[in-house]
Chain A
């Protein structure tokens, strides 16, 4: 199995990896924020991502809204859904054993997926890509479409904005405080439920943005489209260090890199692509259980 990879090909793979990885990272942020605060794996996150993509589909294809409006409605819609999920399925379980909230999360995820099948039908639907974003051009031997640059750019901008919010604003301070000690924060007079709701809203909005960009990059929507990306993004969040926002982005990029490069270097083993991702995950858990950038979190029981 000779490895024979030209520089151009490597660069092409690298561009592909950044495009995929930054999307994973964007979804991973939602997982990481919720986990950081509630120690809850929000299984419904991938489904909020799916809903975001569907809302864009309905806004632009069905109701012919212009793109900007379509994106805004989709983000708003997904945010509302995320808030509803928190309010209905998670908030009543705040003081319950963690497994209860986890099972509730799994139930919500099933519910959204199956309701989507009933409402939207199982048929995959095409998403119209704005032609401007798809005009391919070459730099050296590397093929690019503007979208491939736009996706990471937006992702990084989102992360920057989020970091500002978490580290430079009052609600951000409250969030960080909750993740350290929820009871003390409550005693300090912070409305914990509102801050948690804000976290869900932000995470869901980011998931919707990721869903929209995903739908542009891989232009079709279907009710189960959130499962695999959601799963991968979750790995990315753990890999980067769950609870850390830059870690989620870094984890996403690393995962994209590993997936793409496993094929670039071992084309014969392309069927094992996902196994590479999981093996990497287990390795990092064994060597550094808190992930690349995670802080030590005590199990909050």
Chain B
């Protein structure tokens, strides 16, 4: 994206800024149109796309950008979802819901606004991420994946068993449906801006250096361990935020929502979109989320020429997993590969786009 001289580079920057602003405004207008014209079911899916995009981006920061193979995202989502829900449920709701064991007294009166609860969800998830990171980030490769998966399961087991705090397997219900389109896309916008800034700035270079060659990075004086811990905690912040938004969208949560399958779904989003690519995670979220819904048609009975073909329950997931295998085999770098969207790329398709990310090997 370098122009022949300084002025034209500046011009391009101004142009890009204007274009980005226009695109954002157009997108907001489209969302506004959607809220007025689309039914709740479609809006729900649009909403889910934003949440999945946040989750995908945060996992991508950990895995794609920094090269730490984490299978623990569901656990941090769970923490975020529970923190947020416990902070916004009213004391009356809490007393009524804990039907097995009374709720812990210190928790009963805790009550904050939604935005505060979102922040708290992210921060506490990040704190747990930091706690987990300190010991396990010394491990590398698959071992790190296994250890984070173990932690995610431990988190879930504790949530299941700590009834006075979490209401155990009964879960929490009646969480106010705060997550509307504006809330989730607002959060996505903030996360997106932060990510782009981060990756374009010096920190992004440090992350890439740590990912691509840890020893070289150390030689250059980078504290690789601290960098990884920081990136991991930041990713966990996103996980907690996404979990909180998810809880407020579905309005009920329980420990079973945060099983390993949840992490797999996110991993699919990141990989299908393109590891290490910010644009990829967003494309991945759109594709995977809509695909899962769209595929429902195979389970519905159809009638062709007066002959009724009964729907086959379960067929949807069969086809979905098959598609996933096909994508991975025939386009393993994902939809975006390591590329990023940029206006330059948009106008001159030949020019290779600026690489902000780049996947781990």
Q: Bound pair: A and B?
A: yes
State whether A100 and B140 are in contact (beta carbons under 8 Å apart), knowing that A107-B325, A110-B317, A275-B154 are contacts in the complex: no
Q: Does B307 have its Cβ within 8 Å of any Cβ on chain A?
A: no
Interface string of A81-123 (1 = CB under 8 A from B): 0000000110011001111100110111011001101100010
Interchain nearest-CB distance for A268 vs B (Å): 11
Contacts of A274 in B (CB 8 A): 153, 157
Interface string of B150-172 (1 = CB under 8 A from A): 11011001101100000000000
Interchain nearest-CB distance for B333 vs A (Å): 8
Contacts of A111 in B (CB 8 A): 318, 321-322, 325
Report yes or no: A92 in contact with B318, Cβ–Cβ below 8 A.
no
- A-side interface size class: 35 or more
Report yes or no: A281 in contact with B325, Cβ–Cβ below 8 A.
no
Contacts of A122 in B (CB 8 A): 314
Within the assembled complex, what's the spacing in Å between the Cα atoms of A98 and B268?
Answer: 14
Report yes or no: B136 in contact with A110, Cβ–Cβ below 8 A.
no
Q: Does A10 have its Cβ within 8 Å of any Cβ on chain B?
A: no
A-B contact count (CB 8 A): 116
Interchain nearest-CB distance for A142 vs B (Å): 30
Interchain nearest-CB distance for A109 vs B (Å): 8
Contacts of B139 in A (CB 8 A): 285-286, 289
Report yes or no: B314 in contact with A299, Cβ–Cβ below 8 A.
no
Q: Does A271 have its Cβ within 8 Å of any Cβ on chain B?
A: yes
Report yes or no: B160 in contact with A99, Cβ–Cβ below 8 A.
no
Contacts of A238 in B (CB 8 A): 143, 146
Contacts of B151 in A (CB 8 A): 278, 282
Interchain nearest-CB distance for B161 vs A (Å): 4
Report yes or no: B268 in contact with A299, Cβ–Cβ below 8 A.
no
Within the assembled complex, what's the spacing in Å between the Cα atoms of A103 and B332?
Answer: 10
Within the assembled complex, what's the spacing in Å between the Cα atoms of A121 and B135?
Answer: 44
A-binding residues in B (CB < 8 A): 63, 69, 135-136, 138-143, 145-147, 150-151, 153-154, 157-158, 160-161, 260, 264, 267-268, 271, 275, 312-315, 317-318, 320-322, 324-325, 328-329, 332, 359-361
Nearest first, the 7 A-B pairs at minimum CB distance are: A110-B321, A111-B321, A114-B317, A107-B324, A278-B150, A107-B325, A275-B157
